[in-house]
Structure 1
Amino acid sequence: MIIGRGIPADRVSAMRSATTTGQVWSDIVLAGGGPRALNMFFAPGSRTHWHRHPGGQMLYTVSGEGWIQERGGEVVVMRPGDVVWTEPGIEHWHGATASAQLIQLVLHFGDVEWTGEVGEAEYAACGAEVAR
């Protein structure tokens, strides 16, 4: 059994930068041998880089509005209450839309393999795709 006791009172939310674009904060709430869980906050226009998880990833949208995209796939809008499962090894990114913040509970299995930044033009094209 692995138990996460939430965020310790003395831990400050960490702003991520090496694997994200924009202002993204995360708090680890479970860091066991296999499953890992964290809360993530994305400011408008912020997002992860392209990445994959050998054991898959589940995203639960708590509030706001975001996008997720698998490499070569369509852009999908995520809203409060939406749950997204990304299969093991599938390259993807996720983050806030250009005009809204996003808060997610993230659960993944195994390490993360980061594969590159989602560029500004690539991100802007997502908004145009969703608007159609």
Structure 2
Amino acid sequence: MEITRNPRHSERGPANRFTGSVRLDEIAAPAEPSRLRLYSVHFAPGSRTSWHRHPHGQVLHVTEGRGLVQCEGGPVEEIRAGDTVWIEADEKLPQPSAGRYPPHGAGARTFMTPLGLVEAAADGTTAEWDALVGDDAYPAA
């Protein structure tokens, strides 16, 4: 058993993966053989991820605020504190660029903090990142 008493440092979300003010707190990254990773992600109003996918899917659990999530070609869904979203790794998407997964982020006037639980790939990566989502394509911008 290992107890982490103090949270690890907070990092700014990299500009090539996030639009707006986003802070990432890695809560848990157990040693191998586990490949689980748990993050708390703090989105300021209007901020969001780029298009991306997780090799083994992702669980999002909103702990604070309200935000948006969307799979490419699908409807924009509002999520709020208490909601849990499961995003499949092999979800079939209707667009030709299937395999890209949702941007998610805060609403226009609200902060949002979800916990994100993922299983890393064998090489240690947790996501494949794609294009940023512009203000014209993000309803909360």
Distance apart, 1:115 and its partner CA: 1.2
Corresponding letter in the other structure for 2:29: A
Q: Is the 8 A contact 1:14 1:27 kept in 2?
A: yes
Q: Does 1:73 align with 2:98?
A: no
Identity of paired residues, percent?
39
Counterpart for residue 16 of structure 1 = 13
Q: Is the 8 A contact 1:65 1:79 kept in 2?
A: yes
Q: Does 1:26 align with 2:41?
A: no
Distance apart, 1:100 and its partner CA: 0.5
Corresponding letter in the other structure for 2:104: H
In structure 2, list runs of 5 or more residues that go unmatched: 92-100, 121-125
Relative to total residues, which structure has the larger helix share, 1 or 2? 1
Distance apart, 1:5 and its partner CA: 2.2
Counterpart for residue 99 of structure 1 = 109
In structure 1, list runs of 5 or more residues that go unmatched: 128-132
Q: Is the 8 A contact 1:65 1:78 kept in 2?
A: yes
RMSD (Å) for aligned C-alpha atoms: 2.0
What TM-score results when the alignment is normalised by the length of structure 1? Answer: 0.85
Distance apart, 1:98 and its partner CA: 1.0
* Residues 30-78 of structure 1: per-residue CA shift (max 9 Å, x gap): 1134111011100000001110011000000011100000011000100
